[in-house]
């Protein structure tokens, strides 16, 4: 996914750098000679899963192609406190210009990957996919969904354009679940799946015309009953559970027999992983 989006990511990085730099880094310009060279060490300050390493490298490449970025850790690996993630060597001013954006992105993406991996591990090999939602930071969706994949999760639709997902407001506007599904079938290509959200068992019969049924905000007992009823009638339908799912509840939800569990919290309730960059005083070189 991220490979096909690199042009857009580069454009975003350039815009984010411009937002931060403005007319220039007045602190570095006023305190550090223009020709000053340094080696910086990017390291983890707490345990977590690493994501965003290629993005951090790209930030420094855009700031200064002469900066040497050397990876010391592997994307998707578990970091321990104190582990060195990468070194950056080159012009000191430019290292400091790229520092904050590179760290911000890597901290955010590592936090998402870490949380996703926690959810995936809770399933303990139950054959259920943990997927993200559209609840992403504007302008960062591609990166955040990439981080979910690094953490072992899967992506739901990327946007409004790549799948039909009929939710409560669509049903209200259309008049019924049946009418909404029929309208979608008449409009979209046969290759596009149609998903519909239901909140109670009485809506199952109409929803069986869809390819995917989202079981939203249900108790374990109701969820189990819905899964059993739907699979007995239409075993080909993909079943997705969503709504307030936590690390404490996801295993119980998975055991109901659903195929997919979507968790908005993978990208909305995330603690950034603490990552820092320090210059090594002993290896600073002035030309």
Looking at the structure, do residues 278 and 194 belong to the same domain, yes or no? no
What positions carry a catalytic annotation? 100, 135, 167, 197, 216
Looking at the structure, do residues 92 and 174 belong to the same domain, yes or no? no
Mean pLDDT computed over every residue of the chain? 95
DSSP 236: T
Cβ atoms 133, 119 nearer than 8 A: no
DSSP string, 34-69: TTEEEEEEEEESS-EE---HHHHHHHHHHH-TT-EE
Looking at the structure, do residues 276 and 239 belong to the same domain, yes or no? no
- pLDDT tens across 214-228, in order? 999 999 999 999 999
Position 282 pLDDT exceeds 80: no
Looking at the structure, do residues 52 and 132 belong to the same domain, yes or no? no
Domain hosting residue 198, numbered range? 120-268
- pLDDT tens across 237-273, in order? 999 999 999 999 999 999 999 999 999 999 999 999 9
Domain containing residue 101: CATH number:
3.90.1170.20
- pLDDT tens across 145-192, in order? 999 999 999 999 999 999 999 999 999 999 999 999 999 999 999 999
Looking at the structure, do residues 139 and 260 belong to the same domain, yes or no? yes
Looking at the structure, do residues 45 and 175 belong to the same domain, yes or no? no
Looking at the structure, do residues 78 and 203 belong to the same domain, yes or no? no
Domain containing residue 225: CATH number:
3.20.20.70
């Amino acid at each position: 996914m991220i490979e096909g989006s690199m042009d857009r990511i580069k454009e975003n990085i350039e815009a984010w750098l411009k937002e931060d730099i403005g007319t220039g880094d007045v602190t570095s310009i006023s305190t550090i000679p223009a020709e000053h060279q340094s080696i910086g060490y990017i390291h983890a300050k707490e345990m977590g899963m690493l994501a965003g390493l290629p993005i951090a490298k790209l930030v420094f490449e855009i700031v200064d192609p002469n900066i040497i970025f050397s990876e010391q850790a592997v994307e998707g690996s578990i970091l321990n406190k104190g582990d060195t993630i990468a070194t950056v060597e080159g012009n000191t001013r430019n290292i400091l210009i790229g520092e904050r954006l590179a760290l911000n992105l890597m901290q955010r993406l590592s936090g998402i990957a870490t949380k996703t991996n926690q959810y995936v591990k809770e399933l303990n090999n139950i054959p259920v996919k943990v997927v993200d939602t559209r609840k992403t930071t504007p302008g960062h969706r591609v990166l955040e969904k990439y981080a979910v994949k690094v953490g072992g999760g899967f992506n739901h639709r990327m946007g409004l354009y790549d799948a039909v997902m009929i939710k409560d407001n669509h049903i209200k506007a259309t008049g019924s679940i049946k009418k909404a599904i029929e309208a979608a079938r008449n409009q979209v290509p046969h290759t596009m799946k149609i998903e519909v959200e239901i909140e109670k068992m009485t809506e199952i019969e109409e929803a069986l015309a869809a390819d995917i049924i989202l079981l939203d905000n249900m108790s374990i007992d109701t969820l189990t009953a819905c899964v059993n009823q739907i699979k007995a009638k239409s075993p080909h339908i993909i079943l997705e559970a969503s709504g307030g799912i936590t690390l404490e509840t996801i295993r119980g939800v998975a055991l109901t027999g659903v195929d997919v569990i979507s968790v908005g919290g993978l990208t909305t309730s995330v603690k950034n992983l603490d990552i820092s960059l320090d210059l090594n005083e002993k290896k600073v070189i002035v030309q």
